[in-house]
Chains A and B, each alone.
Chain A
Amino acid sequence: MTDQGDFEHTGIGEGDLLAYLDGDVAPALARHIAHCVLCQRDLVALTALDARFSAALLRADCPSAETLLEYTASLLAPQIARQVDTHLAACADCRAEFALIAAPAALSLAERVMQSGRNLLRAVLLPPPLLATSTLRGAAPVRHHYTAEKYEILLSIVPPLAPGGTFTVEGQLGDAVPGEVRLLRDELLLRSDIIDDLGFFAFDALAPGVYTLQLQLGNSVMQVDALSVGEA
């Protein structure tokens, strides 16, 4: 250690190395630290510890996420629940986590299908054939072609015969599979129909609106979302 600037190593005080890490020391001191083997060794140890402290003390006073869960579900002893109360009042991180855990958790339609242990297959709308229905006007049915894994389904939305009348939705499966079809709106079951031997099913007397269809096929449920009936 010959070229260590104007400083003797013994002149290095508490805080100097951290100041060096922050780029906040006089040039002569910086020169010494940059070239002194002992200082460099110290620095390595200090940065290693600094990193460990930084990770270890991150939210060190916070209750575990599981404690927040048990707090939410009133599973904690009253005394511990009071401690969590106090902590929540002071800690924004925990408040944010608590809000996520406690958020009301109504099950969606899809989740209820999953809950039954069945596969949920989302039907994908295929593009219309080139000679699309755009040239047809008036009371022509609108046809949609959907697919989901091995299943194919053709849906026809038949408009009312007279203005103000009701719609009919007719469906046909590519391969006739026994099963049940349900018609839902706003996640509520409206009606159901059985798929016949030829793969047909139908729902008539429908008001305009956006519907969901669920076809129960074996261990899968094929779901057609956002089926627009009589709405642009």
Chain B
Amino acid sequence: MSIADMPHFSLEQVAAGCRAEAERSRSTELGYCFELFRRALEQLDQAAWQAVVAQYQRLILRWLHGVGLSTDDTLAEDVAHEVIERFWRTLAGRCTPLTARFPHVGALLKYMRQCAVTTVLDRRRSERQRERLLEQAQHAYQLDLPVATAGEDDIVERIARSEQLHRVRAWVKAEVGDPLEQLVLRLSYSDDLSPAEIASRYPEHFADAALVRQIKERVLRRARRALLDSGTDAAEPLSD
């Protein structure tokens, strides 16, 4: 049997051949498994893609477990689904012939595993955003501001889920053109520095922390008019 004969085989033959091949761990071959991937990703054959998913889902779950993802079964299955989607989205119809980028099935599985790592990294990024929202909510709570009445987790969840973060980013891109303002925003929010730290690191720009706060507050007040007072969903302050 050679790769040249494969296109004439039935999907059942190829899928069964792939299962047998995988047991013998012949990951460097251009065999049945590779043919399964080729039909799915080059020819966009849905049935072949389903066979790929059936064959490799368990392996993906195991990888996810290996990188310390929660053992909660439904969560892991959701994440595994995201991994498979990402593999499909980034490869389907994009690499023809598939052999040009992936010389054997081992290379495809390596990429699939990299998709799993990427998906976990995405989750970590969102977790960090949530942590930041939570920290700020707790800070406000400590100051006894009339906020956080609905419970901090709810608020954080609501903001993190909504389109509000995208709106903030778009507003900054469009409305913050002043280089000093841009610098203050980057140092404050991207690098997480306090006004005092910013003033001490960039004395050539900022005489003291008060000046940094002045610039920061000016930007926030402008943003407030644009983002919070616009009468949409984003108009709710942290309290409601």
Interface residues of chain A, those whose CB is within 8 Å of chain B, are 13-19, 21-22, 24, 40, 43-61, 64-66, 68-70, 72-75, 97, 100-103, 105, 107, 110-112, 114-118, 120, 216
Q: How many Å lie between the Cα of A216 and that of B214 in the bound state? A: 70
Supplied contacts A14-B221, A15-B214, A18-B220, 9 more A-B pairs, CB within 8 Å: A22-B213, A44-B145, A47-B147, A51-B238, A56-B164, A57-B168, A103-B117, A115-B56, A117-B22
- Any chain A CB within 8 A of the CB of B44? no
User: Closest chain B residue to A97 by CB distance?
Assistant: B121
CA distance A47 to B113 in the complex (A): 41
CB distance from A52 to the nearest CB of B (A): 5
Contact between chains at A107 and B109 (CB < 8 Å): yes
Contacts of A54 in B (CB 8 A): 132-133, 135-136, 188-189, 192
| 19 pairs, A vs B, C-beta closer than 8 Å | A14-B214, A14-B221, A15-B211, A18-B213, A19-B210, A22-B195, A43-B143, A44-B239, A48-B237, A53-B188, A56-B164, A59-B190, A65-B125, A66-B122, A97-B121, A103-B117, A110-B62, A116-B22, A118-B23
The yes or no answer to B218 lying at the interface (CB within 8 A) is yes
- Contacting pair A75 B101 (CB below 8 A): yes
CA distance A15 to B91 in the complex (A): 50
**Residue among A16, A47, A101, A107 having the largest count of chain B Cβ atoms under 10 Å:** A47
Q: Which residue of B lies closest to A110 (CB)?
A: B62
User: Which residues of chain B come closer than 8 Å to A47, judged between CB atoms?
Assistant: 136, 139-140, 145, 147, 238
CB proximity to A under 8 Å, residues B19-47: 19, 22-23, 25, 27
One of A14, A60, A105 near B218 (C-beta < 8 A)? A14
With the chains together, A103 CA to B95 CA distance in Å?
A: 22
Which of chain A's residues has its CB closest to B219's CB? Answer: A53
- Interchain nearest-CB distance for A58 vs B (Å): 6
- The listed residue with most A CB atoms (<10 A of its CB), out of B25, B119, B125, is B25
A187 to chain B: closest residue by CB: B25
Which residues of A are found within 8 Å of B190, using beta-carbon distances? 57-61
Give me the 7 closest cross-chain CB pairs, A-B, nearest first.
A51-B136, A56-B168, A15-B214, A57-B189, A15-B213, A48-B238, A56-B165
User: B157 in the interface, Cβ–Cβ < 8 Å?
Assistant: no
Q: In this assembly, does B217 line the interface, its C-beta being within 8 Å of a C-beta of chain A?
A: yes
Determine the distance from Cα of A111 to Cα of B186 in the docked complex, in whole angstroms: 43
B23 and A116 contact, CB distance less than 8 A: yes
Q: Is B63 an interface residue (CB 8 A)?
A: yes
C-beta contact mask, B180-202 vs A, less than 8 Å → 1, else 0?
00000110111010111000000
Indicate with 1 or 0, residue by residue over B90-121, a CB within 8 angstroms of chain A CB atoms. 11001100000100001001110111011101
Please judge, given known A-B contacts A46-B224, A48-B237, A57-B169, whether A115 and B90 are in contact too, CB under 8 Å.
no
Given A17-B217, A18-B217, A75-B101, is A44 in contact with B237 using a C-beta cutoff of 8 Å? Answer: yes
Residue B3 lies at the interface, judged by CB distance under 8 Å to chain A: no
Q: Does any Cβ of A come within 8 Å of B146's Cβ? A: yes
**A65's contact among B122, B137, B210, B237, by CB below 8 Å, is which?**
B122
In B198-240, the 8 Å CB interface with A consists of 209-211, 213-218, 220-221, 223-224, 227-228, 237-239
Residues of the B chain whose Cβ atoms lie less than 8 Å from the Cβ of A114: 58-59, 62
In the bound complex, what is the Cα–Cα distance between A105 and B118 (angstroms)? Answer: 13
B129 on the interface (CB 8 Å rule)?
yes
